[in-house]
Amino acid sequence: MSSAPPNDPGSASRPRRLLILAEGYSADPHYGKTARGVLRYRREQVVAILDSERAGETQDGIPIVGSVNDALCFNPTTALVGVATQGGRFPPAWRELLKSAIAKGLDVENGLHELISEDPELVELAARHRVELRDLRKPPPGLNVPTGENLTHPAKVVLTVGSDCAIGKMTVALELDAEACRRGIASEFVPTGQTGIAIAGWGISVDAVVSDFAAGAIENEVIEAGREAEVVVVEGQGALHHPGYSGVTLSLLAGSCPRALILCHAAGRDRIRTAEGSPREIPIPPLAELARAYETAAAWVQKAEVVGVALNTLGLEEPAARAACEAAGRELGVPATDPVRFGARPLAQAVLALRGRKLAPQA
């Protein structure tokens, strides 16, 4: 990005050396997803992981420590809250952890809904120790409803959509963006959640924007990214079939006005994972029906087509994973891959094959 992005966690003057706070969750693929995302895509910035249940182990070659004190020998500059809890609130024990990090002189980056920069006790402590508290999810001021300006730039906008939450929509977007960049295409990843923001260093967490301005916030991001990029890859959120998050998903569709959709799915998952204890049972429909749902919803504002399928095949043996991708591709008649396992090449090719967009007439 050429201009100063909103909510820039990279604005601190010293280079980030991250201590990832993942107490109790470092091995959890769902609730530890911020930790895992940053480990995968910004590994060079991570010096240690805090999880007292696994102190002394390593993860992806990074040492796991049991306390902030034990991490200090790795010279961290910043403690990053690496967990994503249901509803975005802090487990109670975390307050002590945050206070400990601040007292040891670490900046804190937090992606939960609960804002540390508005917590009087933490703010006072941070001022005393001259550290910054950065809430990655805090929306920038001045948001509004979308204007339609996102119809006036020629970039190819791609949105990752999916069958459920936490199945890899951010990862697919990052892999697609990286593959496009490797091919010399001016591609830009647009983060829309706390992990994407922690990775990319800018962005708006759409789920924390008041619902009236969610689509407008995404439009702002896409316009910003589309100024110089040929391809804009927007990180999807939620799922149309998930009752908790479908509104966010539709705001993303309406606000980003994608030309193309990548349909993401966890191979073998057949039910939406709703809140614990929920009396709900929501089956995930077949892929072709899912694709139709997204194309239908997109067309309420502007037509978009599913141009590829990204399967998360974690847990499948390789032959089964390849067979699942082939079956998905056959079912939808578009390229299908697990971009983490087999590369994002077919998805990038499908996106690049899109013709240039006809611009809407200027007002």
Give the one residue of 120, 279, 319, 358 binding a copy of itself; rule: CB under 8 A.
279
Q: How far is the CB of 213 from a copy of itself (least distance, A)?
A: 8
CA atoms within 13 A on the CB side of 293: 18
| Nearer to a copy of itself (CB atom), residue 240 or residue 267 | 240
Which pair of tokens denotes residue 18?
Answer: 């991250």
115: contact with a copy of itself by CB under 8 A: no
As a dihedral over the C-alpha atoms of residue 266, residue 271, residue 274, residue 277, rounded to 10 degrees, the angle is: -130
Give the one residue of 204, 263, 297, 336 binding a copy of itself; rule: CB under 8 A.
297
In this structure, the number of other CB atoms found within 10 A of the CB of residue 169 comes to 31
Q: How far is the CB of 245 from a copy of itself (least distance, A)?
A: 7
Give the span between the Cα atoms of 134 and 345, in whole angstroms: 35
- Site track 139-178 with a copy of itself (rule: CB under 8 A), x = hit: -----xxxxxx-xx--------------------------
| CB-count burial class (<10 Å; 0-12, 13-18, 19+) for 42 | middle
Residue in the block written with tokens 């995404």? 218
Helices (H), 29-84: 33-41, 68-71
Task: Find the part of the chain contacting a copy of itself (CB under 8 A) among 60-68, 204-212, 306-314, 342-350.
Answer: 204-212
Q: How far is the CB of 215 from a copy of itself (least distance, A)?
A: 6
Give the one residue of 45, 187, 195, 251 binding a copy of itself; rule: CB under 8 A.
251
Q: How far is the CB of 218 from a copy of itself (least distance, A)?
A: 10
| Nearer to a copy of itself (CB atom), residue 123 or residue 151 | 151
Distances (CA, A) of 235 to 118, 132, 157, 159, 177: 27, 27, 11, 6, 10
Interface ranges with a copy of itself (CB under 8 A): 86-88, 113, 144-149, 151-152, 206-216, 240-241, 243-255, 257, 274-275, 277-282, 293, 296-297, 300-301, 360-363
